[in-house]
Structure 1
Amino acid sequence: MSTHVSPAAGPDLSRRDPTLDLARVAAVFLVVVVHLLQVGVGRGPDGAIVTSRPAEAQSWFDAATWVGQIMPLFFVVGGFASAAGWASWTARGGDAAGFVRTRTLRLVQPALALFGVVAAVLLGGRAAGVDPSLIDAAVVGIGMPLWFLAAYLLCQLVVPVAVSAHDRAPRLSLGILLSATIAVDALRFSTGIELLGYLNMLFVWPLIQQLGFWYRDGWFDRRGTPALLAVAGAAYLLLGIIVAWGPYSSSMLANLNPPTLPLVLLGVAQACLLRVARPVLAGLMRTRAAQAVVFAMGSRLMTVYLWHLPVILVVSGLALLVPGAAPVPASGEWWATRPVLLVVVALVLGALSLPLARIEALGRLGAAPRPWLIGVAWLLAFLPPFAVTVEGMDAVLAVCGAAMYMAAVLILRTRSR
């Protein structure tokens, strides 16, 4: 039976870096902005509803993704937080099963509400005869960010083993994960079987998470700014070479699912640049305004991440009812409405997060279930977002996801006897 540690107990903040909290919030904010530019819902000259992805149609989009694809940095920061959380957990007598239980619950509980609402809306929309094109656009949009759940659940599962491997042989750990990443990419592109690329979920994101372990150990702190800039420059140079002469897309968004080697190079570069920017970020975090924003958004980050696309889609749909508020996607008028829509989405998310953020809180947990039950619950949590990543969201997956997530929460919150 796993050792019980209350998640409400205070974590060890002795090595907490507030600049990483700022980086995490900034990464999610950038994701919201990018998705706001990707969701085009409006009316054409004939009054018919038009849907598109305007940002991806722009000539500058691929180049912009080299900066805007910020998710590797999120996993670097997550690796730092996970290693610190694991150290704090074990210092209080916790074991691996209990750690995986609490980390899984923090992801599953807010996602359960999303799957439930999406299932109800999709089934209700079809029954009410809503325009199928709008439902299809909504389904694609809502499912777009759910790959993160599968990837982050996997990373949290391996934290105890990954930290142990890093402590024993940090270079060997990176080398094995990097070699496996390259091998999977080679197998995928040589055979043309795209599904093989999803094996890299086992290697790419855990590898980038390991960079966060190195960040916490102070490896980046011990390098001066010129050295860090040189490493970042070399990573971008190598990225350019493998994109120009290799099988990879020039769009870092296209390299996201299945995950590929370019994301690792982006992670290295972004980790270096984050450390270079640390003095500036630390100065910013000494201001009350930055502290307030980071605290307000950081305490409900999963809610913002999971719900921002549904909110964008709902607000865009409601704009169709207001004359002139939903111009043709990608038109000059459409681009001009983006700042206004961002403010509206932010206000709606803020109001929505008040009740939903409570779901993120674990509250008081009793003794953990048996480890094999925690494993079953983790699998129930992993399969729905992974299926959405591979196949795309639909009503069946939404309903199955809601049922499986409910089962996972019930298992994880059940006290052992």
Structure 2
Amino acid sequence: MTQQNRTDPRAAKLARRDLVVDLARVWCILLVVVVHLLMIGVGLDASGAVVVSRPLEAQPWFAAATWFGQVMPLFFALGGFTAITAWKSLRKRGGDAWDFVRGRTLRLAAPALPLFVFFTLAIGGATLAGVDRELVDTVATGAGTPLWFLAAYLLAQSLTPVLAHLHERSRWLTLAGLALGAVAVDAARIVTGIDEIGLVNLVFVWAFVQQLGFWYADGWFRRRTAPQLVAIAAVAYLLVWLVVDAGWYSPDMLVNLNPPTVPLALLGIAQIALLTLVAQPLMALMRVRAMQAIVFTVGSRAMTIYLWHLPVIIAVAGLTLLIPSAAPEPASPAWWWSRPVVFVAVLAAVWAISLPLARFEQVSVAIPEGRRRPSAGAVVAAAAAAFVPAFLVLQFGLDLVLAFVGVVLFAAALALDRARAARTAA
């Protein structure tokens, strides 16, 4: 560390961070917003009738584009990097697995609670107001689409202490075991035709991709040469093409998302290799103060942006119908040209929402002096309570009942994970 870093707290803090990871995480979040913005088409045709469509998915190149635009594997790999980094830091401070799971649960459950409160009030209010039931169900289901992430991410992150231990003992065997588990689950799903079997890959696929983040943190990918990284990505994409061409999977990687499938694990390999390949120019970009400001600003609200962007997109689309000439017919040239303006409007609205919600995203996991951590049983129960509502939405779609269940269970998770009064000696 230089003398300047020792005297400049900001420089010292930046020196401890992987700025490429910060940039990539923000890129993933913003790309998800863009994709959803282009998938939801609401406007008026020449006769003034309301048209609802999915313009992006109607493009002939859409399926091929998802091989690069489906960035959730990369996001989980980056989450693996931050998870193992945080786990190692926690262990050095004397923390254990229960402290880690508690922290991860709090940081996912706290931002999710106000969203489920909003859904309960919005769906309940629309129902009481007599809004068409089919319309309410369609909008609620669409708005709840991204919530699968809460269940999958919490599950993968909660397994970090165990998987980090296995990684330290035998990283190749651990990765191979997760890969074989994912293949076995997909094979059982394909042979039996029972899609629900694929839900087991919430563990194997996402834990495999998260494990790639462990390897990235170890420097394994950075020790590979540029030709090696290109070869790794090329082989991964070749394997994706082979399993798709065999008819086992859809060529649309969004279809392969829930339940998660082996192609996503292969995409994760390709994406982390390609990220490493361009890490140097990205690092140079992150030395620019303006870029750091953008990345850290968006990154500080990443969970709020992810959770709230789709309801905001739907709300903005509805509002444009009330403004003359603001809702061109979906997929028309005017509609495509209007997307950048709508994107800015959505981000501005989400940012405004994030201001009062910042305290939920920045919830403290520290145990105050004179208090103690909840028991291991309470930590496990809290993680389960936070997992269940998102998993149910993944399976059945969002409705009023599940929105209310989410409020109850996320509130219960936060209560179970709160610091307890210290035990007094008898």
C-alpha distance in structure 2 between counterparts of 1:401 and 1:60, whole Å: 37
Among residues 354, 378, 387, which one is paired with 2:383 in the alignment? 378
Q: Which moved more, 1:362-371 or 1:156-165?
A: 362-371
Give 2:395's aligned residue: 390
Give 2:172's aligned residue: 171
C-alpha distance in structure 2 between counterparts of 1:13 and 1:235, whole Å: 33
- Whether 1:140 aligns to 2:141 is yes
Aligned CA distance change for structure 1 residues 71 and 13 (closer, same or farther; 3 Å): same
**What amino acid is the match of 1:110?**
P
Give 1:51's aligned residue: 52
C-alpha distance in structure 1 between counterparts of 2:272 and 2:158, whole Å: 23
C-alpha distance in structure 2 between counterparts of 1:384 and 1:297, whole Å: 27
SS of 1:337's partner is helix
**1:310-325 alignment to 2 at 5 Å?**
310-325=311-326
C-alpha distance in structure 2 between counterparts of 1:411 and 1:79, whole Å: 25
Give 2:281's aligned residue: 280
In 2, are the aligned partners of 1:119 and 1:399 still within 8 Å (CA)?
yes
In 2, are the aligned partners of 1:76 and 1:271 still within 8 Å (CA)?
yes
Q: Which moved more, 1:323-332 or 1:15-24?
A: 323-332
Give 1:151's aligned residue: 152
Cα distance, 1:49 vs. partner? 2.8
Cα distance, 1:175 vs. partner? 0.9
Give 1:81's aligned residue: 82
* Matched-pair identity in %: 53
**1:181-196 alignment to 2 at 5 Å?**
181-196=182-197
Q: Which runs of 5+ in 1 are unaligned?
A: 1-10
Cα distance, 1:102 vs. partner? 0.9
Cα distance, 1:58 vs. partner? 1.4
SS of 1:254's partner is coil
Cα distance, 1:119 vs. partner? 0.8
Cα distance, 1:293 vs. partner? 0.5
In 2, are the aligned partners of 1:232 and 1:270 still within 8 Å (CA)?
yes
**What amino acid is the match of 2:413?**
A
Cα distance, 1:349 vs. partner? 1.4
C-alpha distance in structure 2 between counterparts of 1:156 and 1:287, whole Å: 31
C-alpha distance in structure 2 between counterparts of 1:105 and 1:411, whole Å: 10
**1:213-252 alignment to 2 at 5 Å?**
213-252=214-253
Cα distance, 1:331 vs. partner? 2.2
Give 2:5's aligned residue: none
C-alpha distance in structure 1 between counterparts of 2:367 and 2:140, whole Å: 34
C-alpha distance in structure 2 between counterparts of 1:397 and 1:260, whole Å: 26
Cα distance, 1:264 vs. partner? 0.7
- Whether 1:405 aligns to 2:410 is yes
Q: Which runs of 5+ in 2 are unaligned?
A: 1-11
Cα distance, 1:395 vs. partner? 1.0
Residue-by-residue CA offset, 1:193-238 (whole Å, 9 max, x unaligned): 0111111101000000000001111111111101100110111111
**What amino acid is the match of 1:383?**
V
SS of 1:50's partner is strand
**1:46-125 alignment to 2 at 5 Å?**
46-125=47-126
Cα distance, 1:403 vs. partner? 1.1
Cα distance, 1:136 vs. partner? 2.9
SS of 1:221's partner is coil
In 1, are the aligned partners of 2:382 and 2:417 still within 8 Å (CA)?
yes
Residue-by-residue CA offset, 1:168-199 (whole Å, 9 max, x unaligned): 01011011100010000000010000111111
Aligned CA distance change for structure 1 residues 329 and 214 (closer, same or farther; 3 Å): same
**What amino acid is the match of 1:234?**
V
C-alpha distance in structure 2 between counterparts of 1:70 and 1:416, whole Å: 43
C-alpha distance in structure 1 between counterparts of 2:133 and 2:326, whole Å: 22
SS of 1:42's partner is strand
**What amino acid is the match of 2:175?**
L
In 2, are the aligned partners of 1:51 and 1:137 still within 8 Å (CA)?
no
Give 2:21's aligned residue: 20
Cα distance, 1:134 vs. partner? 4.0
C-alpha distance in structure 2 between counterparts of 1:246 and 1:386, whole Å: 28
Cα distance, 1:356 vs. partner? 1.2
C-alpha distance in structure 2 between counterparts of 1:97 and 1:14, whole Å: 29
**1:277-316 alignment to 2 at 5 Å?**
277-316=278-317
Count residues with an aligned counterpart. 407
C-alpha distance in structure 2 between counterparts of 1:12 and 1:216, whole Å: 18
Cα distance, 1:351 vs. partner? 1.5
C-alpha distance in structure 2 between counterparts of 1:286 and 1:132, whole Å: 52
C-alpha distance in structure 1 between counterparts of 2:277 and 2:134, whole Å: 46
C-alpha distance in structure 1 between counterparts of 2:15 and 2:200, whole Å: 36
Cα distance, 1:128 vs. partner? 1.2
Q: Which moved more, 1:82-91 or 1:352-361?
A: 352-361
Give 2:130's aligned residue: 129
In 1, are the aligned partners of 2:80 and 2:157 still within 8 Å (CA)?
no
In 2, are the aligned partners of 1:166 and 1:173 still within 8 Å (CA)?
yes
C-alpha distance in structure 1 between counterparts of 2:134 and 2:292, whole Å: 42
Q: With structure 1 as the length reference, what TM-score do the two structures score? A: 0.95
Residue-by-residue CA offset, 1:224-253 (whole Å, 9 max, x unaligned): 101100110111111111111141000010
C-alpha distance in structure 2 between counterparts of 1:183 and 1:227, whole Å: 28
In 2, are the aligned partners of 1:18 and 1:282 still within 8 Å (CA)?
yes
SS of 1:41's partner is strand
**What amino acid is the match of 1:241?**
L
SS of 1:346's partner is helix
Q: With structure 2 as the length reference, what TM-score do the two structures score? A: 0.93
C-alpha distance in structure 1 between counterparts of 2:70 and 2:196, whole Å: 22
Residue-by-residue CA offset, 1:255-289 (whole Å, 9 max, x unaligned): 00000000011000001000000011001000011
Aligned CA distance change for structure 1 residues 133 and 110 (closer, same or farther; 3 Å): same
Aligned CA distance change for structure 1 residues 258 and 416 (closer, same or farther; 3 Å): farther
Cα distance, 1:14 vs. partner? 6.4
SS of 2:95's partner is coil
